[in-house]
């Protein structure tokens, strides 16, 4: 016959927990302490209780996209990126034509630090093309 030893303290603790009756205010205090710190809401979900986030009024300008996404590399030359305004650094790239530059902006440049959309995954294709055009216009 096998005996399982259960410490008396564990048995008493289990009995005490099941015998405790909580008041409404104690229960509310416990629920408040263990409540989630936030919630995830999906667009269009009306059960979240907060105001709906306003939709974008349209695509961002090339300068806006540059200022928020592209300048990290194109203002410093990080990873060999041509710096905005440096005509010599842009000359060979511009000579390849707008289609080649747009393709590089959208798909990245293999072998360099330039990833697709310059890493701006919330940028639309139209916004990326506008940013490329902005950099070209300001680097000739």
Read off the pLDDT of residues 82-102 as tens digits, 9 standing for 90 and up: 999 999 999 999 999 999 999
Read off the pLDDT of residues 13-72 as tens digits, 9 standing for 90 and up: 555 555 578 889 888 888 888 887 777 777 767 666 655 555 567 899 999 999 999 999
User: Structural domain of residue 76, as residue ranges?
Assistant: 62-137
Q: What is the pTM of this model?
A: 0.61
SS percent in the chain: helix, strand, coil, step 5: 55, 0, 45
Q: Which residues does 98 contact at the CB level (< 8 Å), separation at least 6?
A: 133, 136
The token pair at 111 is 């072998």
The answer as to whether 85 is a domain residue is yes
Phi/psi region, residue 111 (left: phi>0; alpha: psi -120 to 50; beta: rest), is: left
Per-residue pLDDT, 104: 95
The answer as to whether 56 is a domain residue is no
The token pair at 6 is 């259960």
CATH of the domain at 96: 1.10.760.10
């Amino acid at each position: 016959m096998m005996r399982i030893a259960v410490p008396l303290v564990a048995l008493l603790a289990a009995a005490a927990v099941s015998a405790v009756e909580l008041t409404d205010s104690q229960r509310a205090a416990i629920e408040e302490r263990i409540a989630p710190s936030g919630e995830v809401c999906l667009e269009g979900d009306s059960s979240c209780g907060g105001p709906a986030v306003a939709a974008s009024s349209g695509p961002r300008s090339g300068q806006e996209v540059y200022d928020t996404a592209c300048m990290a590399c194109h203002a410093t030359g990080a990873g060999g990126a041509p710096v905005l305004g440096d005509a010599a650094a842009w000359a060979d790239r511009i000579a390849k034509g707008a289609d080649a530059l747009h393709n590089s902006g959208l798909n990245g440049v293999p072998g360099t630090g330039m990833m697709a959309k310059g890493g701006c995954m919330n940028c639309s294709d139209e916004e990326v093309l506008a940013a490329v055009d902005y950099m070209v216009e300001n680097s000739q």
